[in-house]
Amino acid sequence: MTDKPRSHGRKAIAPSLRPRELMSDTPELAGAWTAKVITLFPEVFPGVLGASLTGRALQEGLWQLQTIDLRRFGVGRHRNVDDTPAGGGAGMVLRADVVAAALDEAAIGTPPRRALWPVICLSPRGRPFTQAMARRFSQARGMTLLCGRFEGIDQRVIDHYRIEEVSIGDFILTGGEIAAQALIDATVRLIPRVLGNQASTEEESFSDFLLEHPQYTRPAVWEGREIPGVLLSGHHGEIARWRKAMAERLTKERRPDLWRAYCAKHGRDPEEDQEL
Ligand code: SAH
């Protein structure tokens, strides 16, 4: 266990090292978007974020990751971080004073304005995570993510620090770490230069309330199934029309909520027939 926040993927270090080996006691890479993660399990970071495009961008210093081990702030000889729920019931709750001490350390060197530096708690009670939130987070200088465990976190610390609660869906995970990695992944890929091809983030699902059209690649015939002919026609106008029509049809069939939002934005009647 270290006594300081650990940072992952600093530019100063040879890019041949793997992200997990890039931890250092000297955080802050000037200017790079930074995720600070408060967790009882710092060893699970960078996790999946160390792979592929997000991993390469981490090594290149396009963003940085710092974990803050909640255990360091525990009380007493056993460094206790949790206690039984007030009012009784099963499980344990993370203590307000312990979490507050970690938040105070995370706040060092970060702007106090939440718009510049969102402070987030992963929670099934939070607002559902969306692409629009990822975009907002990517436009900040960084963010702090607080990972819950057990039955969750004392509500007073969430209220006192004006923490934004975010959920990744209507199911219960064992802890906030997987959810934190999901938020960071979706956010980091919107940072310029992280994805090689920026255009791709503008055409993806949800950019305009639409799910993306289906994708195909070689071989041209597989198990007797052909790629839709229009995609092989070389006719860019028709390909674009086909993709748009497929995106609209899929959205209407699968996600009536998104379809209504899309129709409202584009002045369309949600009941109209989708012809292909
Ligand atoms: N007793 C809580 C669940 C606690 S799960 C309840 O019923 O609401 C333990 C921790 O896992 C939470 O504190 C949170 O940080 C994380 N977690 C669980 N499900 C999540 C979800 N859907 N989205 C984000 N975080 C989640």
pLDDT digits (tens, 9 = 90+) for 214-233: 999 999 999 999 999 999 99
pLDDT at 153 > cutoff 60 = yes
The DSSP result for 175-241, as a single string, is: BSHHHHHHHHHHHHTTSTTTSS-THHHHHSTTTTS-PPPP---S-SEETTEEPPGGGGS--HHHHHH
Q: 176 CA to middle of ligand 1, Å?
A: 6
pLDDT number for residue 26: 43
pLDDT number for residue 158: 98
pLDDT at 206 > cutoff 80 = yes
Residues 6+ apart with CB under 8 A from 74: 80, 81, 98
If one compares 13 and 182, the residue with the highest pLDDT of the two is 182
pLDDT one-digit tens code per residue, 98-117: 999 999 999 999 999 999 99
Please answer whether residues 90 and 152 qualify as being in contact, where contact means their C-beta atoms are separated by less than 8 angstroms: no
Percent of the chain with pLDDT over 70: 89
* Best probe residue, ligand 1, of 172, 183, 185 (max atoms within 8 Å of C-beta): 172
- Report the 10 Å Cβ neighbour count for 182: 19
Q: 268 CA to middle of ligand 1, Å?
A: 38
Residue 5: pLDDT band (50, 70, 90) is confident
Cα 162 from Cα 184, distance rounded (Å): 20
Cα 269 from Cα 202, distance rounded (Å): 24
pLDDT one-digit tens code per residue, 157-203: 999 999 999 999 999 999 999 999 999 999 999 999 999 876 678 77
- Ordered by where they begin, the domains of the chain are 20-188 (3.40.1280.10), 204-266 (1.10.1270.20)
pLDDT number for residue 198: 63
Percent of the chain with pLDDT over 90: 82
Place of tokens 């099934």: 124
Half-sphere exposure of 71 (CA within 13 A, CB side): 10
Give the residue, by CA position, lying nearest to ligand 1 atom 4.
Answer: 151
Cα 201 from Cα 115, distance rounded (Å): 22
Give the residue, by CA position, lying nearest to ligand 1 atom 18.
Answer: 173
**What average pLDDT is seen over the chain?**
91
Is residue 175 in contact with ligand 1, taking CB distance under 6 Å? yes
Please compute the mean of the pLDDT values over residues 120-125 and round it to a whole number.
98
Cα 48 from Cα 122, distance rounded (Å): 18
Is residue 24 in contact with ligand 1, taking CB distance under 6 Å? no
